[in-house]
Amino acid sequence: MTKHHNKATLCVQAGWKPKNGEPRVLPIYQSTTFKYDTSEQMARLFDLEDSGYFYTRLQNPTNDAVASKIAQLEGGVAAMLTSSGQAANFYAIFNICEAGDHFVCASQIYGGTFNLFGVTMKKLGIEVTFIDADANEDTISAAFRPNTKAIFGETISNPGMNVLDIEKFARIAHKHGVPLIVDNTFATPINCRPFEWGADIVTHSTTKYMDGHALTVGGVIVDSGNFNWDAHADRFPGLTRPDESYHGLTYTKSFGKMAYIQKATAQLMRDFGAIQSPQNAFLLNIGLETLHLRMERHCSNALKVAQYLSENPKVAWVKYSGLPGDRYHALAEKYMPNGTCGVLAFGLKGSREDAIAFMDRLKMICIVTHVADARTCVLHPASHTHRQLSDEQLIEAGVAPDLIRLSVGIEDAGDIIADIRQALGE
């Protein structure tokens, strides 16, 4: 399978390439270990001198096939699966930042990532500056410091539904000699490939659309292979200087365009161990096989629901960048001309209690702490996912206290709208 295949074909076929007589379907390599004939062979693997499997914490054939499928879908050179989206974003930053370093991040991001970056990573001595992603280039540039190592944003922010101007962010990143890392969870590579707009590294919570059935928690980091670490060697010594924990191996010298993912595997997976289980990778792969079909339906359903809500007098506001007139519609048209995602946000006229009462009246649509799977679901971030955030932080993260997050599934659009209609008391 090559990058020249279309995304629909990659979804179904990429990654697992059986040899003569091997299983047609990706098998689950349910084994922690792999067998070698000589001690010498095993030693070479440990020194990263040979490639091969030896322990599933580092690499597993099921995981590698799925990572390869996602890398091809994103148009990247390499990918690594992680146990969750949180682990993916943590590793993506920690792979190039250490104590004393700093990075810049759009403030409109997923609450879990906001907390990871702003609170937990600070305890490791890594500082973040949150900026308004819609600010102009000079304002965002002013947040950079000599020790800044990356800039981070979400293609479509969860749950604020802001669309990132990826080209603007890439220009700012590259002007400062750092990579742009984009969390592409909501758009998926079906609707947007951030690498085509200058992003260097992409992350996902595969828990969402990629799995698509709400079966497994997982994440992935994909590298475009485009960032020239050696051109900024002093800024990224972890990649460009010898690694004492690997007998003085230098990642950029030994692995070229694969350096970033090799380092993430060899150091971060080795030491922190947030692997995705091969079972979960197998299930994720089944989800990926229909990602292109599901995204189309998620988007067309969500647009119908967004239109219905925007015309309803009981609804105060709707945020869905697929909707003409949305603040981010022009950016969505540019970066996601075939559709954005199935998630939208809206507020009802009335109090916060009215929002909660509306949600409780829904019948088919369930209240769950999840988004982006086949079943339509709803959540009130201020009382659920984002409840650790203060009102000030909520607003900074683009989450109005009355915001209802609706994740439109792939059921019949008429049935989804009918449930909302009855919950609105119509």
Q: Within 255-314, which residues bind ligand PLP (CB under 6 A)?
A: none
Indicate which single residue of 64, 127, 134, 183 sits in contact with ligand PLP (rule: CB under 6 A). Answer: 183
d(CA 158, CA 136): 22
Q: Does 162 bind ligand PLP (CB under 6 A)?
A: no
d(CA 385, CA 190): 26
Q: Does 112 bind ligand PLP (CB under 6 A)?
A: yes
Q: Which is nearer to ligand PLP, 152 or 282 (CB)?
A: 152
CA angle 48, 52, 53 (to 5 degrees): 110
Query: Residue 109 in contact with residue 183, Cβ under 8 Å?
Result: yes
**Among all chains, which residue has been given the structure tokens 């070229």?**
256
Q: Does 342 bind ligand PLP (CB under 6 A)?
A: no
Among left, alpha and beta (phi > 0; psi -120 to 50; other), residue 48 is: left
Give the shortest CB-172-to-ligand PLP separation in angstroms: 21
Give the shortest CB-343-to-ligand PLP separation in angstroms: 9
- Residue 7: in which H helix or E strand, if any? helix 7-13
Indicate which single residue of 84, 129, 216, 277 sits in contact with ligand PLP (rule: CB under 6 A). Answer: 84
Query: Residue 195 in contact with residue 166, Cβ under 8 Å?
Result: no
State the chain's maximal CA–CA distance in angstroms. 74
Query: Residue 218 in contact with residue 211, Cβ under 8 Å?
Result: yes
Q: Does 219 bind ligand PLP (CB under 6 A)?
A: yes
Q: Which is nearer to ligand PLP, 48 or 81 (CB)?
A: 81
Query: Residue 413 in contact with residue 301, Cβ under 8 Å?
Result: yes
Residue 49 backbone phi and psi in degrees, to 5:
-85, -30
Indicate which single residue of 110, 117, 346, 358 sits in contact with ligand PLP (rule: CB under 6 A). Answer: 110
Q: What is the dihedral of CA 48, 50, 53, 54, to 10 degrees?
A: -60
| Exposure string for 344-381, b = 16+ CB within 10 A, e = fewer | bbbbbeeeeeebbebbeebeebeeeeebbbbbbbbbbb
Give the shortest CB-421-to-ligand PLP separation in angstroms: 28
Q: Does 217 bind ligand PLP (CB under 6 A)?
A: yes
Q: Does 86 bind ligand PLP (CB under 6 A)?
A: yes
Q: Does 208 bind ligand PLP (CB under 6 A)?
A: yes
Residues 6+ apart with CB under 8 A from 138: none
Q: Which is nearer to ligand PLP, 59 or 207 (CB)?
A: 207
Q: Which is nearer to ligand PLP, 200 or 419 (CB)?
A: 200
Q: Which is nearer to ligand PLP, 166 or 259 (CB)?
A: 166
Structure token digits, residue 419: 């449930």
Q: What is the dihedral of CA 24, 25, 26, 30, to 10 degrees?
A: -100
Q: Which stretch binds ligand PLP (CB under 6 A): 109-117, 163-171, 230-238, 358-366?
A: 109-117
Q: Does 207 bind ligand PLP (CB under 6 A)?
A: yes
Give the shortest CB-89-to-ligand PLP separation in angstroms: 6
Indicate which single residue of 74, 154, 326, 373 sits in contact with ligand PLP (rule: CB under 6 A). Answer: 154
Give the shortest CB-234-to-ligand PLP separation in angstroms: 31
Q: Does 85 bind ligand PLP (CB under 6 A)?
A: yes
d(CA 234, CA 253): 15
Q: Does 95 bind ligand PLP (CB under 6 A)?
A: no
Q: Which is nearer to ligand PLP, 112 or 177 (CB)?
A: 112
Size of interface with ligand PLP, in residues (CB under 6 A): 16
Residue 345, classed as helix, strand or coil, is: strand
Q: Which is nearer to ligand PLP, 176 or 405 (CB)?
A: 405
Q: Which is nearer to ligand PLP, 238 or 381 (CB)?
A: 381
Q: Which stretch binds ligand PLP (CB under 6 A): 52-60, 85-93, 296-304, 351-359?
A: 85-93
Which residues contact ligand PLP by CB under 6 A?
84-86, 89, 110, 112-113, 154, 158, 183, 185, 205, 207-208, 217, 219
